[in-house]
């Protein structure tokens, strides 16, 4: 299986459990690896034959920017569900970085994998 990836996709959203977090937006950064088979697209040179990372990115921006999760775990799980079900991706690895959430650290977050990498 091949991998199509998106790196450092930044999306502003309301996220957090503290009262002050519920009244602001915070920037979340995403690294996404998506399993796919690129051979058909490589042979045809046609966007219709591949996983359209622009469409994935747009869908995630629309979803995340309109969401108001408390936990990064819940947000990460839902993003993986969207990628797998809406884009027919058999396996996804998602790193979610809540930048600035912990003093002294560049960020904190979760790294999850869902699905079957072998397709």
88 Ramachandran zone, left/alpha/beta (phi>0; psi -120 to 50):
left
Structural contact between residues 14 and 25, judged by C-beta atoms closer than 8 angstroms = yes
Please indicate whether residue 98 is annotated as part of the active site: yes
Catalytic-role residue among 10, 54, 98, 117: 98
Closest listed residue to residue 37, CA positions, set 56, 55, 50: 50
The H or E element spanning position 40 is helix 39-44
Strand ranges for the chain from DSSP E: 2-13, 26-36, 91-99, 107-115
Q: Mind telling me the catalytic residues?
A: 98
């Amino acid at each position: 299986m091949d991998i199509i990836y998106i790196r450092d996709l930044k999306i502003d959203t309301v996220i957090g459990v503290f009262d002050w977090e519920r009244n602001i937006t915070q920037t979340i950064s995403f690294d996404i690896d998506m399993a796919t088979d690129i051979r058909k697209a490589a042979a045809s040179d046609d966007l219709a034959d591949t996983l359209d990372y622009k469409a994935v990115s747009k869908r995630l921006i629309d979803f995340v920017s309109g969401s108001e999760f408390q936990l990064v775990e819940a947000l990460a799980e839902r993003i993986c569900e969207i990628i797998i079900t809406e884009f027919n991706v058999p396996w996804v690895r998602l790193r979610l970085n809540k930048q600035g959430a912990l003093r002294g650290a560049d960020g904190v977050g979760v790294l999850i994998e869902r699905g079957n990498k072998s397709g």
